[in-house]
Structure formats: C-alpha cells, structure tokens
Structure 1
C-alpha cells in the first residue's frame, strides 16, 4: 500500500523537512526531539535558565506522543541516543530520564553536540520495536552502568549495543592518554555484549565512533581491522564531547542476524583488497573509495544501514570545499547511489542523522535536502559537530527499510 501519514495533535508542524517518526517493517525511528512544548515554549520554569531536566522530560514526552500515534508504547523503545550541548547537563538528563522511562531501560548513548534551535540544550532520538518490547542483554564481566541503560537490546534478530567506553569491570577508565588502548578496550566491551546476545563481530552492520578530537583517528582505523574484516560494516565517526573525563572514544554498534549484502566502490578503499570481488557485495562505479575500513552500506533482510556519507566524488576529491550546497548535493547523491545499488530508492530511507559544522549552514542544507525526498520526509536529527577532513561541512548517516517507499507510516505535527 502507499505510504500513509498520521497527524499527531500533541506535536506542532515540524519546522524543517522531516517527520517526527516513521514506522517501517519491524521498527519505528523517531526524529531528534527537543524539549519544546506544543505551543513552542521551551520547557523549564525559570526565565533565562536552560533546564536540562525539564527539557529532557519534554523531549521524552514528545517521543512518547509520536510513538503512541503509531500505537507503540514507550516500553518498546530499544535504543536511545541523546545529545547534550554541555556534559555538565548529564546528571540532570539522567535524573529526568529515570523519571520518564522505567527499567529495564533501552540501550543508550549520550554525546556532546551543538544543537540548531535557540535555547535547546537536549535532543533525544529513539528506535522502537513496532510490535513488542525488546530483549535486554547483559554481559558478564562488564561494569554495571551507573546510568539508566541496558548494555544491549534485541528486536527481531537486530541487536542495539549501548555506547561503550574504555572501562574495566570496576568501571575504571583503561588506557588513559592512548587512543589505541582505549579503542581496543571499547571494542572488547562491544564484543562481550555481542557474545552475550549470541552475535559476533561478523554480524555488525553499523559502527559509530564518537571522538573528542581527531588526533587518534589513524590508530583507531588500524585497530579496527583487528576486529573487522571484509565485508566491513557501514561506519561513521563524529567529533563530540564524552561524558567520562579522559575518554578518547565511545563506540556504539548495531548487529543483525542473516545474510548480508554490502555496497562498495569499484575503487579500492582503505583496508580493502584491490583484486578481490565478493558475491555478497555490490560494487558501484561512481562511489568514492572508502577513506577508512568500512562499507558504504550494509543490508540484512529489508534493513539497510548507510555509512556516514560526505561530499567526495569517485576520484576522492571533496566537491565544493566549504560549500554547503555542493557538498549536500554530492553527499545525497552518494546515498542515492547506495540505495539504487540495493534495489531501493531515497524514499526507502526512514531516518537520517546529519552533522553540520556550523548552524548557519542550515537553510541552504534544508533547501537541497528536501529536493531528494518525496514528502513525508524521513525522521531526522541534525546536530553541530566537527568532521574529519579539512573544509568538510556536512556528513549524513542514514537507515533505510527496503519497501518503505510504499508501506511506511509517518507521524507529522498538527497545525
């Protein structure tokens, strides 16, 4: 059947081209929700004071409203990603989070990022099961988290792994000052959770790393190939503050059971064998070679995770250095090439995560972005953060469900 739209009276019209939530296949993906009330006022009673607890509660209420419009309870949430403009808001965020979401909690990651709305200091997105609560996973030998989260949450053979830091069984930081040591410990922790759920590194389809700076990026890439071999998962690495003092990286993962197909360039990328061609991979002539050991996209069943795409052309040249219009267009063209290689299209994309280097780039970005999709748009989160390459101004990650262009249900706000 064609895509349908549900109007949620509890939410205002979205101010930019996105839906508040999209239900497709086994999952519901929400947009990044802010702590704004129905009438547009920021949550919090004290004038001139940004209230992390109030904004967190309101953002979670907004997520709940979008889910309920689809008939999905908050108990079905499997994964939450929170963005804070300052890690000093972390305690208030956790206090409100505990009040709104009862245990057993979803898998979770919380990172520092700039937000695009004035006075917003908290933004939260969620992934929920469309049909039932997730199975919560705990790995023996890992530290009991001090914050409200499950180490992993599984829905229909898809496992969401909480962000993992370089901490030992006592919760103490391992490898202070060493990216290699911290990345190794964080990936070992990811591996322990995968194993506890009956998965392995070969089942991982998406890895996202958060780093406070880029100085350790090369050692991270080298170590990555200790854990992953071709076909690599899709991957993104974004700059952002971490809640634990001294932490150099936090890693979240998504894994899926089943036959996997990946998308790669015909141009060999970093860590890729130049002469090796695999039956489980679609090679695309016009995609750039990967600059790190990852695939452009990884598919299991109808679920597709796309890497953080940027504005590189097939020659490896950044299109439009510092030019948001050209880079947005090329980035979305690269995503479209990936989707077409898997037999889908841009309207099968149900969620995007966008990182801009400057909030003033938003208007031009939105103008270009909306031209690549047919309304109702995917759910979306847009934050401000650093990117890995000089003069790069945008990176877009995406999730797609093949067939969503015909069967998805989107939630939009009421005028």
Structure 2
C-alpha cells in the first residue's frame, strides 16, 4: 500500500502543485528535498547555513513521523548546499551527523552548488529510509573499508537487499588527494573505492543498479567523456543506470568528481535477477558505455537521467526548458513501459535544470512536472545547475519507481 505525506502543516510552494513531501511504499520511505521554507514558501534564515540545516532536518523528521518512521530509519541522505568558495563542509556534515544518534549512521552524498533555486537558500536535504511494514526496525550493516578515509557517515549501508553507497572520492586513507586535477585517474580510483565498499557486503560492481557522478564540468560532452569511459566500462553489459551532473567547483581543490551508488544483492549473497535495458529507438550516450536507461530488480525500478535527445545524444529542442521537461518525462514513460510499469509507479524524481536563484524558473519546472501526475504525486527534488552535461540541454530528470 502506498502512502503520501502531503503539505498540510508543512512548508509549501507558493504555487499549486500535487507533489508529496514523502512517499512510503512497503518498507521504503522517500523524502523529497527539504528546505527552510515557510507555509507560504518564503525562505527562512536567509543566508544562514547552520539555521537552515536545522530547519531542513526538522522538516525531514516530521515527514518521516507522518509515514510511521523516524531518523534512525534513514539509510541514505543527499545534501545539496550552496558553496561560494567559503563553505564549511566538515562543519555542515558534523551538524547533520549530530541529528542521527544511531551507531550506524546513514550513507550520505554531499553536493556543493553555486545556487539552490531561491535567493538566500543555503541547503536542501533529501532522504531515503526503511522501516518494517509492521513497525519493526530493520537490520542494518555498514561497510567502512580499512583503506578508506575518515568520514562521519557510513561509506556504505546495507538494509535488506538494498545497498546505499555514500560520497566516494579519490582520497587515500589519510584523506589526502590522489592525482589532483586528473579526471581519468580519479575516475579509476573512485571505481576502486566503490568496489571496496561493496566488497564489505559481499557485493560486486555488477550488483550496482544506479551510479551518480557529480563531476567538474562546464556543460560540454568533452567534459563528460573524459572520465565517462572509465565509469561506463567499470560494469559488464548490461550495466547500471547513471546520471552525470556537472558542477563548476568541488571541494577540496583538485577534486574532479564525487560519486554515489545504489546496489541490490540477495539476502544469501546471490546476485538478484534484473532487467536492464535501453528501449528501442532511445537516445544513446556521446561515447560507448555500458550504462542502461532503466534497471528493474523485483519491485524496485531505477530510472537513469533522461534528457531531451535523439540518436547519439543529439539535443532536441535546444534551449527550450519547458519543451525539454516534457521530452524528458516522455522518455521516462517509455523506459517504464519497457519494464512493465507506468508513471503512476514513480515514487521519486530528481530534476536537474539549468538555472540559478530565479524563483520563476523553479516554479515553472515544478509546475510542468506536476502536470504529468494525478492526485498525490511523487516526491520531487529540484536542483538548479549552471550548465547541463551537453550544450543545449536545459534539464535532466532521474527517478525511482516501485511496481508489482
């Protein structure tokens, strides 16, 4: 049975949209991007990262409670924060860690960005939690390889058949940077680090269902392709879905990419049967890779980042945000149909759109996405980017669905 946490008594957007703050389906709980916003959509504590972090986490906790879960059920966090070159990421992560008293903290991905869609907004936090359908706590195990650097969160966390891998970076065990500024060498190190985390659960790279890469780039296919070949061939065919997100700067200096991943493995360690495919006639990547457009394992469906393109990443409707959003969602619908699912099965969307601090861009993006859903919709996190991965792109949308 699917349940939705709506916006009654919570912060709201100042436009009428039907997306949910949280969605629960069985043991899975998805919480959309939470921010320090008022019931009328106004930014609170403008420019104050510390105060906004507290408010966003309070909102997240309220959504979890509405869906009969709490912060100790959180298995994965993604934190988008504004970075003007002076952000204290270590302090931010320490403040977030203090809100999770469990000895096994969730996995976490941290993403610095120049803007978050609204003037004065400093942080947006989304979450995935897992709680037994009868209210019982679910067993969790962590993987923190000996060769990994100190990190206040779990490098990897397993709950049931799901494995959540937090931010992986090309760092050594002391936290020192490996091969500064070299995207190809760092891509290889990241994949090796990912493999080390997975091995702690008896899993392998080919158990990965999704890999997301936040890479230093300025909106060209060349930026993506430099390290994309390494990532794309780290998995045997058919590989996982992937989303590549270009960012203008990463912390610390010399870092060219951060990655996060999701994997699934059977309770007995056996590889789970999966459907991984590219629908016939779908767009393809600018360089040969083993990534797929959609992966389904049981009821879980992972939708890779969809763009408005045809053929070999030829942009369709360049520069037209509204039309590209419809194209992306149409591509998502096509991928879902290929694995026996539909738009009503979507539980979560992440919308990466070309934008900055202009509220009108954000609200237009939300409104168009909302038009594709009836009744309570999925959770939606909107993320503005200075550039998308290919010239002419205005938006990329990834998602999760659950279907019988």
Q: Quick check: 209-218 or 115-124, which moved more?
A: 209-218
Aligned equivalents of 2:331, 2:323: Cα separation in 1: 12
Instruction: Give yes or no for the alignment of 1:217 onto 2:257.
Output: no
Deviation at 1:118, TM superposition (A): 2.7
Residues 15-34 of structure 1 aligned to structure 2 (within 5 Å): 15=14, 16-34=17-35
Deviation at 1:157, TM superposition (A): 0.9
Instruction: Give yes or no for the alignment of 1:338 onto 2:335.
Output: yes
Q: Quick check: 235-244 or 67-76, which moved more?
A: 235-244
Aligned equivalents of 1:9, 1:30: Cα separation in 2: 15
Equivalent in 148, 157, 172 of residue 143 of structure 1 = 148
Deviation at 1:155, TM superposition (A): 1.6
Does the 8 A contact of 2:165 with 2:197 survive in 1?
Answer: yes
Higher relative contact order by CA 8 Å / sep ≥ 6: 1 or 2? 1
Deviations 1:330-383 (Å, cap 9, x if unpaired)?
Answer: 111000001111111001010011111114533443333222212211101101
Instruction: Give yes or no for the alignment of 1:177 onto 2:181.
Output: yes
Aligned equivalents of 2:198, 2:117: Cα separation in 1: 34
Does the 8 A contact of 1:37 with 1:58 survive in 2?
Answer: no
Instruction: Give yes or no for the alignment of 1:248 onto 2:256.
Output: yes
Deviation at 1:5, TM superposition (A): 4.2
Q: Show the counterpart of 1:365.
A: 365
Does the 8 A contact of 1:309 with 1:395 survive in 2?
Answer: yes
Deviation at 1:37, TM superposition (A): 4.9
Deviations 1:55-86 (Å, cap 9, x if unpaired)?
Answer: 11110110100000011011010000000111
Residues 66-215 of structure 1 aligned to structure 2 (within 5 Å): 66-86=63-83, 88-102=87-101, 103-113=103-113, 114-131=115-132, 132-133=137-138, 135-146=140-151, 148-213=152-217
Deviation at 1:288, TM superposition (A): 1.7
Aligned equivalents of 1:91, 1:286: Cα separation in 2: 45
TM-score by length of 2: 0.87
Q: What RMSD, in angstroms, separates the aligned Cα atoms of the two structures?
A: 2.1
Aligned equivalents of 2:145, 2:283: Cα separation in 1: 41
**Which runs of 5 or more residues in structure 2 are unaligned?**
266-271
Report the CA distance shift for 1:33/1:151 in structure 2 as closer, same or farther (over 3 A): same
**Which runs of 5 or more residues in structure 1 are unaligned?**
265-283, 404-415
Does the 8 A contact of 2:149 with 2:172 survive in 1?
Answer: no
SS in 2 for 1:285: coil
Aligned equivalents of 1:310, 1:380: Cα separation in 2: 17
Report the CA distance shift for 1:211/1:118 in structure 2 as closer, same or farther (over 3 A): same
SS in 2 for 1:239: strand
